[in-house]
Structure 1
Amino acid sequence: MGNRIGGRRKAGVEERYTRPQGLYEHRDIDQKKLRKLILEAKLAPCYPGADDAAGGDLEECPICFLYYPSLNRSKCCSKGICTECFLQMKPTHTARPTQCPFCKTPNYAVEYRGVKTKEERSIEQFNRKSLKHR
Structure 2
Amino acid sequence: RRRRPPVDERYTAPQGLYPHPDIDLKKLRRLILEAKLAPCHPGADDPRPDLDECPICFLFYPSLNRSKCCAKGICTECFLQMKSPTSCRPTQCPYCKMLNYAVEYRGVKTKEEKGVEQIVSARSKTVVQWCLLSFLC
- What is the TM-score with the length of structure 1 in the denominator? 0.91
Percent of matched pairs sharing the same residue:
72
Q: What CA distance in whole angstroms lies between the structure 2 residues aligned with 1:27 and 1:33?
A: 14
Q: CA deviation at 1:94?
A: 1.7
Q: 2:43 aligns to what?
A: 49
Q: CA deviation at 1:104?
A: 0.5
Structure 1 unaligned spans of 5+: 1-6
Q: 1:11 aligns to what?
A: 5
**1:67 has 2:60 as partner:** yes
Q: What CA distance in whole angstroms lies between the structure 1 residues aligned with 2:18 and 2:63?
A: 19
Q: What CA distance in whole angstroms lies between the structure 1 residues aligned with 2:67 and 2:117?
A: 16
Size of the aligned set, in residue pairs, is 127
Q: 2:89 aligns to what?
A: 96
Q: CA RMSD in A?
A: 1.0
Q: CA deviation at 1:109?
A: 0.3
Deviation track 1:21-52 (CA, whole Å, cap 9, x = no partner) reads 00000100100000000000000000000001
SS in 2 for 1:73: strand
**1:35 has 2:36 as partner:** no
Structure 2 unaligned spans of 5+: 128-137
Q: 1:25 aligns to what?
A: 19
Equivalent residue for 1:123, pick from 116, 122, 132: 116
Q: CA deviation at 1:11?
A: 1.7
Q: What CA distance in whole angstroms lies between the structure 1 residues aligned with 2:97 and 2:91?
A: 9
Q: 2:130 aligns to what?
A: none
Deviation track 1:46-75 (CA, whole Å, cap 9, x = no partner) reads 000000113x41110010000000000000
SS in 1 for 2:104: strand
